[in-house]
Amino acid sequence: MTNSGTQPPRASWPGTLVERALALVAADYRRPVGPIAIAAVLAFAAMAESSKTTGPLSSGYALVLALLGTAPIAVIRKYPGPAIATVLTANAVFIVFARLSWSVAAVAGWLVALAACPVVLSSRPAFRALVLSEVAVLLGSLGIARNVTPWDASAAEALAVIAAWGAGEMVRAKRQAAIERAAVAERFRDLTARDAVTRERASIARELHDVVAHHVSMIAVRAATAPYAVPGLPPAGRAAFAEIADEARSALTDLRVVLGVLRSPDGHGGPDAAPQPRIADLDGLVSRVSGAGTEATVRVSGDVRPLAAAVELCCYRIVQEALTNVGRHAPGSRVQVHLGYAADALTVRVVNDPPAEPRRGGAANAAGQGYGLTGLRERVSILRGEFRAGPDERGGFAVCAVLPSPGHPQAEAVPA
């Protein structure tokens, strides 16, 4: 009867029995139940047979050799080299010098050790064991020390060596194939997950482009055309509308960078992505905030030096978010920005005074609304830094971060 296309061919019962025995031998050495069970059965059988030996060896010598040819199987997984060497050497003595004293249990231990060679040894020692076993069979056939052996028995033993070693090689190949299949499956799951993330990022990018970018564009257009639509607008109003238009255009530029990051497979943006802001851009940020009515000053201490791009971007975003929160929750208050350069870190501290006109909930509301501070905490944690934000003793609000930056800056990815 032929096998169906979906059912793999099944081995005959002797092959299945050998495969299961080898699986027990190759079990994890921390739970060596299989090898110990096989060694115990064969050792007891060898003891029973050795007491009835009729060969050239006395029962004592035959028993010692039989135990050496079977008992080491118990530790064949933990100590494969010494165990296999002991089993094969003891059985080689039987083959060359005392074949008639060779018990069936010792023969079984010999075959088990040969089959285990490809499973528990590397390829070169395993092949060496195969060759030496065949040499022992060849020497046994020469009739050394009156150990006369029929040629057909020697031929059968030579074939048994090859068959046992081949069975072990088959098990090793199946185990290796299973490992490779598991690796391929893991790789496939990883690619599937990455594909799902890429699709989600593309979906988010489309939503940002179609919704947020549209509204910001309209803000920029309306702010730029407002001075022409409202006759008699004072210069201060024209300046305010111009500043709103500039901020909207800056927001569109940053949004395009974010869209490039989301649409890029590696998450680093395309080649045309705009450069990310750095510490040198803080002056422009503070100037814009000051023009909107928030008095901000920047103080720098320590030896100023270039830092990693991710550290400089994180510093800029911390100051940007803190100033934004001041304008939202404590308008009119003064802000102090302090950058402290140390040998292995950059300290960023942004502190604002209590609001001139206290609002409901005070300045502490800055910590409880939106996701800005949460995003900053995540940025700092990516850099393995420390982040704190909360009301200070004067009634204002303080944002502080310590960003590790040892040595010289290195090229690295900048988080979006």
Q: Buried b vs exposed e over 237-274: b needs ≥16 C-beta within 10 Å?
A: eeebbeebbebbbebbeebbbbbbbbbbeeeebeeebe
Q: What per-residue confidence (pLDDT) applies to 113? A: 87
Q: What per-residue confidence (pLDDT) applies to 2? A: 43
Place of tokens 């100051």: 319
> What are the domain boundaries of the chain?
13-149, 279-416
First and final CA of the chain: distance in angstroms? 63
Least confident range of 60-69, 88-97, 218-227, 398-407 = 218-227
3-state helix, strand, coil in the chain (%, to 5): 65, 10, 30
- CA gap 212, 225 in Å, rounded: 20
Confidence of residue 400 (pLDDT cuts 50, 70, 90): very high
- pLDDT above 80 for 386: yes
Strand order in the sheet with 345-352: 296-301, 335-341, 345-352, 397-404, 386-391
Could you give the count of Cα atoms lying within 13 Å of 30 in the half-sphere of its Cβ? 0
Q: What per-residue confidence (pLDDT) applies to 27? A: 53
Q: What per-residue confidence (pLDDT) applies to 194? A: 79
The answer, as to whether pTM is greater than 0.75, is no
- CA gap 242, 303 in Å, rounded: 37
Confidence of residue 395 (pLDDT cuts 50, 70, 90): confident
| Nearest Cα residue to 335 out of 305, 373, 389, 294 | 294
Q: What per-residue confidence (pLDDT) applies to 362? A: 44
Q: What per-residue confidence (pLDDT) applies to 149? A: 64
Architecture of domain 279-416: 2-Layer Sandwich (3.30)
- Residue % of the chain over a pLDDT of 90: 7
The answer to whether the CB of 113 falls within 8 A of the CB of 73 is yes
The answer to whether the CB of 23 falls within 8 A of the CB of 34 is yes
Confidence of residue 146 (pLDDT cuts 50, 70, 90): low
What mean pLDDT value characterizes the chain?
A: 76
The answer to whether the CB of 390 falls within 8 A of the CB of 367 is yes
- CA gap 18, 23 in Å, rounded: 9
- pLDDT above 50 for 199: yes
- pLDDT above 50 for 315: yes
